Structures are given as structure tokens and as C-alpha cells.
Amino acid sequence: MCVGLAVLLCTLGIAHADPTPGWRLAVSGDVHIALDLAMTDLRAYPSRTELVTFVSDAGPQTHVYEGAPLEALITASRPVTSGGAEHSLLTVAVVAIGGDGYAATLSWADMAPALARRPALVAWMEDGVALNGPRLVVPGDVGGARYVRGLTRLRVVQLAPK
């Protein structure tokens, strides 16, 4: 009976199960709209798939990641810009922070499709398997140093003088 009720509630859109309960991704800092995203929220953004190769301590790694473009998340938070300048977002940086405290910084040029050949994304899937938490993936990062596992925060920073 309980299973039937759960199916009915999900069908009606009244309830939904998050595949990674308790996991949250916060987008904050120099933004007009702070975001607090669950995995289901993240999956609502347009997705992209990337085949990447990078070098780690274990040697060369090749994976297929699926996730949301980082630029889409940051744009949704409406970052504070440097004013009416032609390319005002070029002074925006993002610090990606994992649950273990590991952090990496990206410039707007690392995430904007108009500026990066392969912009960064926030992945929820690796090689067809759901990740336990999102991972920042920077396809052009040959050494993999800016791949942040267990991503919990994206802190937007406006670098232009005020």
C-alpha cells in the first residue's frame, strides 16, 4: 500500500525522491540570487556530455562526464558585474569547494562557451554511473587539478575594484 501511494504521489508530481538525499550545492558570494541546489535541481539545467582525458597520480584517466554547464549555474545566480563594461563578466571568478575542503578557482573564460572551447561543467554522472556528489570538470585541465570531487559550494567573486 505504501509503495502504491508513493508511486501515485510521484506520478502526480507531489513527491519526488532525490537520488542523493542530503547532498546540496550552494552558489553564493557576489551574486544577486544565492542558490541552494539538490541533485534534482541540478539535473533540471540543460546537460552536456564531455569525453575528457587528464593525468592523475594513478596515471592517465579518460572518462565520459554528464552534467550542467557551470556557466548556466553561475548565470542563474546573477553575478554582480563590474558595471556597464562591454565584457563585465570577465572580472568574475568562481571558487569551487569540495566537501573535503579542496578548492580550485576558475575565471569566467573557463566557463563561458563564447570564450572556452570546452567550458567547465558540474557533472552528476561519470562513465554512465551516477556520482555520489557532483564533480567540477574542466575539460581543458590536462593535469586534472581543478577537478573538484564532492562539490558543495561555488563561491562567486567579483574581482573588479569597487
Q: What is the largest CA-CA distance in the chain?
A: 61
**Local confidence pLDDT in tens for the 162 residues of the chain:** 433 333 333 333 333 344 455 789 999 999 999 999 999 999 999 999 999 999 988 899 999 999 999 999 999 999 998 776 677 889 999 999 999 999 999 999 999 988 999 999 999 999 999 999 999 999 989 898 999 999 999 999 999 876
The cell numbers describing 98, all together, are 569540495
Rounded-to-integer distance, Cα 161 and Cα 121, Å: 28
* CATH tag, 20-158: 3.90.420.10
Cell 570564450, residue?
115
Q: What percent of the chain lies above the pLDDT cut of 70?
A: 85
2 in helix, strand or coil? helix
Domains in the chain: boundaries:
20-158
Q: Residue 26 has what pLDDT? A: 97
CB burial of 51-66 (b: ≥16 within 10 Å; e: otherwise) equals: ebebeeeeeeeebebb
- DSSP 8-state assignment for residue 44: T
Q: How many C-beta neighbours within 10 Å does residue 156 have?
A: 21
Q: How far apart are CA 41 and CA 75, in angstroms?
A: 15
Q: pTM of the entire structure? A: 0.83
What are the pLDDT digits (tens) for 32-69?
A: 999 999 999 999 999 999 999 999 888 999 999 999 99
